[in-house]
Amino acid sequence: MTAQLLVMPGSPALIAALAPRDEAGQRLRALAQRSAEKYAGMPIHLVGSRDKRWFTAHAGSLRAWGAPQERVSEGHYLPELVMRHVLGPRANVVQVRDRIHAPEEGVLTVVAVDGSAGLTPRAPLSLIDAASQADQWCRDLLAGRLEGGEPDPDLASWLGGAGVIEQELWCELAALRPTRAHLVDVDATAGVGRYVAEWEWEA
C-alpha cells in the first residue's frame, strides 16, 4: 500500500470561465486532472488554505470571483472550490482540511498551493527581488532535489518576504520525505509560481 500526494495550483485561473486566455493555466489543469486520474476511485483528502480572504458565503459557488455559473458540490473557500472543480464531480472526496499532516496509505492527498506572487513586474505583488530564488526553491522541493532534515526555522519568514502567501503549507511540504517526487510542470507567465507535482510514499 502506498500514500499519494498531488500538488496543484489553487488559483481560480485554472477555471476557463475566469481566465479564458490563460493557456498555461489550462495546461496545468489538464495535467493535474491526468495525475489524479491515475488514482481514480481512491479516497481523496483536499488540503488548502482557509484564510478569510478566500471565504465565500455562497456554498459551492465561484460567484464571488466572477463566475456564478461555475458550481461544485460544496465548499466555502477558494482553494477547495478550485480543487473540486478540477477533480470533477466523480472525485471521491472524503475529507477537507487546511493542513497536510501525514498523508495516509490508500489515500490521494491533493494540496492546493502556489509559489511566489512576485515573479514579474505585472505580478499580483509586483516584482520582488527574492521571488526567483523562492520559485527555484519550490521547484527543487517538489522535484525532490532538496536535502533531508528539518526545515529552517526561518523558512516561513523567508518565503513570506519572497511573496509566497501560504507559507505554512510549504513548510509542511518541506518537512515531508516522499519516496518518489516528480515535478510534472511549472508556470510563471502570470508572475505567480504555479506547479503540478506528484509525490509517493511506499509502505
Q: Which CATH number is 2-202's, of 1.10.10.10, 3.40.50.300, 3.60.70.12, 3.40.830.10?
A: 3.40.830.10
pLDDT digits (tens, 9 = 90+) for 132-151: 999 999 999 999 999 766 67
Residue with grid cell 491515475, as numbered in its chain: 38
As a whole number of angstroms, the distance between CA 86 and CA 41 comes to 15
Mean pLDDT of 187-197: 97
Neighbours of 179 (CB within 10 A): 12
Q: How confident is the model at residue 152 (pLDDT cuts 50, 70, 90)?
A: confident
> Could you tell me the residue ranges of all domains in the chain?
2-202
**Which phi and psi angles does 162 have, rounded to 5°?**
-95, 5
Cell numbers placing 148: 533531508
Task: Quote the pLDDT of residue 1.
Answer: 74
- Partnered with residue 3 across adjacent β-strands are 201
Q: Please provide the average confidence, as pLDDT, over all residues in the chain.
A: 95
Q: How confident is the model at residue 202 (pLDDT cuts 50, 70, 90)?
A: confident
pLDDT digits (tens, 9 = 90+) for 17-60: 999 999 999 999 999 999 999 999 899 999 999 999 999 999 99
Task: Quote the pLDDT of residue 203.
Answer: 63
pLDDT digits (tens, 9 = 90+) for 54-110: 999 999 999 999 988 999 999 999 999 999 999 999 999 999 999 999 999 999 999
Strand residue runs (E) in 51-119 = 61-62, 67-71, 93-97, 108-112
